Amino acid sequence: MEILTQIFQTNYLALIIEPLQYAFMFKAMAVSVVVGIACAILSCFLVLKGWSLLGDAISHAVLPGVVIAYIIGIPFGLGAFVFAMLAVVLIGFIKTNSKIKEDAVMGIVFTTFFALGLMLISKIVSSVDLTHVLFGEVLGISNESAWYTISILAVTSAIIIIFRRVFMVFCFDPTHAQSVGMPIKLIHYSFLVLLAITITGSIQTVGIILVIAMLITPGSTAFLLTKNFSTMIWIAVSISVVSSIIGAYASYYLDIATGGTIVFVQGCVFLTVFTYQTLKQRQL
């Protein structure tokens, strides 16, 4: 009875408002929501195309670019983007000029690049802890980095939404797209550039490891709930936004990693939907 009384006496409005009184929390939440939206939109196309491993490959391949960018004193995002595009070109070149399947090529390229990044990190002695690139550090993000992330991912999301029908046809039926005169190669590389920009823009928020989940989980969850692609995008975005907010609040009150908490919430949502769908099918 005493426990119930304490629950009812809790000021829930104060619990919601308290974290927002701190500038770093408000900034972290805003950045997390924008990153979540951008990754959720792309995740729908990656699931539709069957390219989930490509997001994994690019996100791992950017690590040496981040380290080299630190060494020569240029923005981390620039170094990450260069290596992301290098990985895409290398994957395409090896696939075109060998009999090896695309998933195997991706695995070879991203593990090699990721290993190179770990080697470079192990040799650098500095006051800057580059391991935050692996797991993100959204609570410590600077104002400049926050504005950069929000701006670049907002533009990327807008471009994808504007040209969503083009990308949808390309992902769903590239043969038909080519037959009606659509520039397949241009669309292909444009999509990869947008994917690379999203990944490099998300690194400081959730890190290289966790951005993979944000590029796969929301779209996969939405795919279980609907077969309509437009609805799928809205569901994926909603899941990401809610997960980002819940994850940010949970990380504040429980004193745990924000990026990891956001991804964990997304995983719990997926498992809940999967369980619901499985039980529903068995009842039919």
Q: Which tens digits make up the pLDDT trace of 50-60?
A: 877 787 788 88
CB 247 within 8 A of CB 75: no
- What ranges make up the beta strands (E) of 27-141? none
Q: Which of 49, 87, 44 is nearest to 196 (CA)?
A: 87
The pLDDT value given to residue 130:
59
> In this structure, what are the phi and psi dihedrals at residue 21, rounded to the nearest 5 degrees?
-75, -15
Domains of the chain: residue spans and CATH: 31-211 (1.10.3470.10)
The pLDDT value given to residue 39:
92
Concatenate the DSSP letters of all residues of 200-250 into one string.
HHHHHHHHHHHHHHHTTHHHHHHHHH-S-HHHHHHHHHHHHHHHHHHHHHH
8-state DSSP, 126: -
The pLDDT value given to residue 266:
94
pLDDT tens figures, 49-106:
887 778 778 888 888 888 888 888 887 778 888 998 898 888 888 887 888 887 888 8
pLDDT tens figures, 101-132:
878 888 888 899 989 988 888 777 554 555 66
The pLDDT value given to residue 6:
46
Q: What angle do CA 131, 135, 138 make, to 5 degrees?
A: 105
Average pLDDT, the chain: 83
Mean pLDDT of 10-36: 80
pLDDT tens figures, 208-221:
777 888 889 999 99
**pLDDT of 238 strictly over 80:** yes
Distance CA 177, CA 168 (A): 10
Candidate from 7-21, 47-61, 246-260 with smallest mean pLDDT: 7-21
**Model pTM?**
0.84
Please, which residues have CB within 8 angstroms of residue 47's CB and are 6 or more apart in sequence? 216, 219, 220, 223
Q: What angle do CA 28, 154, 15 make, to 5 degrees?
A: 30
pLDDT class for 150, splitting at 50, 70, 90? confident
Residue 199 to residues 13, 33, 72, 82, 282, Cα–Cα distance (Å): 35, 15, 21, 12, 38
Mean pLDDT of 258-270: 91
**pLDDT of 264 strictly over 50:** yes
Q: What angle do CA 89, 211, 115 make, to 5 degrees?
A: 55
Who has greater pLDDT, 203 or 134?
203
CB 221 within 8 A of CB 172: no
Please, which residues have CB within 8 angstroms of residue 74's CB and are 6 or more apart in sequence? none
**pLDDT of 8 strictly over 50:** no
